[in-house]
Structures are given as structure tokens and as C-alpha cells.
Amino acid sequence: MNYFSSNFKLGILGGGQLGKMLLYNTRKFDVYTCVLEASNDAPCKIACDKFHLGNLMDYDEVYNFGKQVDVLTIEIENVNIDALEALEKEGIKVYPGSKTLRSIQNKAKQKLFYVDHNLPTAPFSRFAYTSEIEDALNHGGLNMPFVWKAAQFGYDGQGVKIVKSTEDLKGLPNVECIAENLVPFKNELAVIVARNASGEIATYPVVEMEFHPEANQVEYVICPARISNEVAKKAQDIALKTSEAFNHVGLLAVEMFQTQEDEILINEVAPRPHNSGHQTIEASYTSQFEQHLRAILDLPLGRTDNKVGGVMVNLVGAEGYTGNVVYKNIESIMKMDGVTPHIYGKKQTRPFRKMGHVTIVNKDLNEARRVAEQVKKSIKVISE
């Protein structure tokens, strides 16, 4: 099929920053794009060919949007899967497929999938409602500490809480959830696997993620991870095995824990471009966004190795500021070597909202990490 400068239409469900960065590449290849998103202020709006306003969880809106395109992809998992299934039956190509998304969208189902496919993950208990947890604690079926995770609609640190006492259960929404054993890990790692419809597979180097202690959000992504070759090989093998089990098309980001004993446990996956791959735009031969496009259009996959060491810093709204966004000291970070800011185009900031990221590239990874710290201290995302 001719995708370039043709009548071919690519549909994207979701209009956030991941979609916007995907659109850099559809622009590069001159692929016609349509985006469906519920917010008129979405970052994608300025970069797609046709913007549709609509609710991603609404069957009719997703179905009717999908009927207008040739291939449909996502930049967020919270979409109406029944509509995707109906579209697939009518011959629309949907990547990742509805079956993959059904297993991933619900965290309880996702965890059961790992157990069924013999993939290593932390032990967990599943609850229909958060209110059932107290019973399980009282009757010895569950011990603290554990990680509470809402089964659906959690993102960016929302819908996740470490529970060390019954006090921590207060104020949690009474929803379907899992209680997962707290893993005393050394590192949080991630591997992005790309797979096209013909079955060609490529993996990116293992990255290491450093988290913000309060916000439960990634602060730094370091690529390649500072781990032994043996651990890196183990992480990549498990990511490949996970990708094979899901049989997905597109990208699959596999987030993992490296335990004190150097075992690898899967934390969770995302079937789309991911925060742990942003540094690929500057540091890799093929960015994760171009790779996602190559995969869903069944084109040959690009090289995944690094040209240079990369560290990514998330730019999130500073605490105490809500309103029209101002990026303070952005000029000072642009003076630094190898520093590239990416601003997502969200006009309103609020505490811990993802507003952009900055990539730092350097042949010396330790130097890149040092500059990243400087960037983090210098730039502030505040409001007018």
C-alpha cells in the first residue's frame, strides 16, 4: 500500500503529547492523519490533518471515527475496546489489536495474563472493591506493606499507592483493584519492543528509571541502564517473551523491577510509545515514534541502538502553581551542551502535570546525568 502523499488515512485515538510526537513523524513521511480526542486544547490539534472532538470511551464515537480511516492506532489505552473489535471485524486494521488492549487495559487482567503465560511478576491479590481489603488484612489473607493499584484508569502515579498501615487505605476510591507485594528492588528498568505485522521484531536498549519519591512519577530516564550485561540480557529476554505472549503490533513498553538478587519481575506494560522512550528522539538512530509508525504500517523496522548516551528529564508542573503556564529559566538550560527541550503545548499547568521533557545527550553517560540534574534544578514549570 502507498502510505506516502496518498489517500491513505491513519487514525489516532488520543490527542496528548505522545500523539503530538508521533505526528512529527507522520509529517516527515507525509502520511495523512486524523485524531479523536475529548479536549479542544489537545497538543495534537495543531499537528494532525483532521481533528475530531469526541469521547474515547464512547462506542459510537470511536466506531464512527474508525470507519473513516484505514489503520487505527492509540496513544492512550483508555479507549472503547468493543468499538475496536467491531472495526476489526469489518476489516479496519487496529494496532495494537482489541485482544491485546483488553488484556492490558485492566491491571488485574494484565497481572493474570503474566501468571497464565509464565511471565515473572510480583505476587498479588485481586479485589472487586477496595473495601474488601480490610477483611483480607483482618483474616490474614493479606499482609502489609503492599502496593494498591486501581484496576482501571490509573496513569502517571494516579491510581497507585503504597499501603503501610490501615490509615493509608482511607480516601482510596472503592473500585476494582489489586494489592501487590512490595518488591524491595534495586532498579526500575524498561525495555521497548517493536513488532510489525509481518512479525519482524526489534528491541531498544534497557533504560533505567529514577522516580520522584512523592509523585510516583519518573524523574529521569537513563539510556543505556547502568547495569551488568547479564542483567540487561535477562531484561531484554523477558521483554521479548512478553511481546511474544501478547502478539501485539506496534510498540510494547515493558516496565520491570530488578530485585536485590538480580531477578527481573514485570511491573506493567504499555502498548504504545512510552515515557521511557522519549530520549530515543535525540539519542537513537530511530526514535520510538518513528518506529511505532513503521511497525503499524508494516514497514521495515529501523535501527534501535543508541548513537550516544541519553538522559531524559520530565518537566512537570511545580507544586503550588495552577494556571497559564510559564517555563522559567528555559534559556539557561538551552545554553548547556547537548540539551534539547520538548514542550508539549499544554497551556494550563497544575502540580505534577506532565508539561514537557528535556533530553540530554553525551558520549559520557555520567556527564549526561550530571547535566540532567542541573537542568532539573534550573528549569521551573510555574504559572503566571
Give the residue ranges of the annotated binding site for ATP. Answer: 107, 149, 180-183, 188, 267-268
Residue that has been written with the C-alpha cell 514549570 in this structure: 381
Sheet containing 9-13, strands listed edge to edge, beginning at the edge strand earlier in sequence: 50-53, 32-37, 9-13, 71-74, 93-94
How big, in percent rounded to 5, are the helix, strand and coil portions of the chain? 30, 30, 40
Strand (E) or helix (H) holding 288: helix 288-296
The helix/strand/coil state of 326 is strand
Classify the C-alpha dihedral 240-244-246-247 as positive or negative.
Answer: positive
Phi then psi for residue 245, to 5 deg, are -65, -40
**Contact predicate 368/310, CB 8 Å:** yes
CA angle 249, 155, 250 (to 5 degrees): 10
**80/375 Cα distance (integer angstroms):** 39
The helix/strand/coil state of 271 is coil
Which among 5, 26, 92 is positioned nearest to 293, based on CA atoms? 26
**16/56 Cα distance (integer angstroms):** 12
Q: Which residues are annotated as a binding site?
A: 107, 149, 180-183, 188, 267-268
Do β-strands 323-328 and 309-316 pair in parallel, antiparallel, or remain unpaired? unpaired
Instruction: Quote the cell numbers at residue 346.
Output: 499544554
**Contact predicate 271/14, CB 8 Å:** no
